[in-house]
Amino acid sequence: MSTALQTLPMPGPAVRVCLLGRFEILKHGTPIPLRPGGKVEQLVGILAMHRRGGIRREALIDVVWPDIDSDLAGSSLNSLAHGLKQQLCDALGGGSPVRNRGGRYSLALSGDLSLDIVEFEQLVELGRRCTSAGDFNAAVRAYDEALEIYAGDLTSGSDILFLLERERLRGHYLSIMASLAEHSYELRDYQLSLRHALALLYADPCREDAHRLVMRSYLRNGQRAQALRHFDLCRNILRREFDAVPELATRTLFEAIRTQPDSV
């Protein structure tokens, strides 16, 4: 195994906050009881978005308790943070998952408390470093682990900050899928390439690079008719979504598959 991958923390953290695909807090692998869409989810979600520098107490209160008297909201914040500590402190060495330093609140991320967003980003970066170093096997392992963490798009928020973060993380996810699909094709594992490319299209149906890879993979798998039919699917999707036609590269590939498949 690559020495780069050996640097990943093992075993897993005692407490893990999940925001990708769903909100839950796992304590030794088991979700703690929380009310869906409640204040805990709002609080933890905001703190996750401000994980690098924290967020001022006043700003945090304005987001989570926008229509409540500031004194009452402050008491609610203290109560909520205390409740989380009571639920998790035995797994965190007596500490609290919420940190308050100089009036700025943040998640007390450490070896015992992790955030799936951070884990995902670390694996994406590791995969990129391994790719740059020419260690493609290690890169694939890192990307595969990242995909296991990415259970879905970012949840627990709808403001501009959340939307920007959701699209940023989604971009990483799509980039990983594209890299794995292309790498599998280069290794002539056309079935795996097809699987990755179709998964990419499931997440982003308008990516023409993925449509072209699906067409090439079908052809290499001996399914030329399916490759030609997929072009029609691509064309219909683009017409419906954007009232647009496929790119020249996609049309050229279709003609090559139709008239000169051996040239592809």
**CATH number for the domain harbouring residue 37:** 1.10.10.10
Considering the domain boundaries, does residue 206 fall inside one?
A: yes
Considering the domain boundaries, does residue 164 fall inside one?
A: no
The pLDDT value recorded for residue 11 is 63
Is pLDDT above 50 for 3?
Answer: no
Number of domains in the chain: 2
- 175-195 per-position pLDDT tens digit: 999 999 999 999 999 999 999
One domain, residues 27 and 111? yes
Q: Say how far apart CA 32 and CA 29 lie, in whole Å.
A: 9
Is pLDDT above 80 for 5?
Answer: no
Considering the domain boundaries, does residue 257 fall inside one?
A: yes
Please report which residue ranges of the chain form alpha helices under DSSP H. 39-49, 57-64, 70-88, 116-132, 136-149, 160-186, 190-203, 208-220, 224-242, 248-259
At 257, which CATH number? Answer: 1.25.40.10
Alpha carbon 240 to chain centroid distance?
A: 27
Which position has the higher pLDDT, 70 or 171?
Answer: 171
Considering the domain boundaries, does residue 213 fall inside one?
A: yes
Segments forming the whole domain that contains residue 252? 189-263
Domain's final residue, options 115, 144, 179: 115
Q: Say how far apart CA 16 and CA 38 lie, in whole Å.
A: 18
Considering the domain boundaries, does residue 176 fall inside one?
A: no
Domain's final residue, options 51, 86, 115: 115
- 90-139 per-position pLDDT tens digit: 999 999 999 999 999 999 999 999 999 999 999 999 999 999 999 999 99
Name the pLDDT band for 253 (thresholds 50, 70, 90). very high
Computed over its alpha carbons, how large is the radius of gyration of the chain? Answer: 23
What share of the chain in percent tops pLDDT 70? Answer: 96
Considering the domain boundaries, does residue 126 fall inside one?
A: no
- 23-57 per-position pLDDT tens digit: 999 999 999 999 888 999 999 999 999 999 999 99
Domain's final residue, options 80, 115, 150: 115
State whether the Cα torsion 213-218-224-230 is positive or negative. Answer: negative
Considering the domain boundaries, does residue 251 fall inside one?
A: yes
Considering the domain boundaries, does residue 128 fall inside one?
A: no
Judge if pTM exceeds 0.85. yes
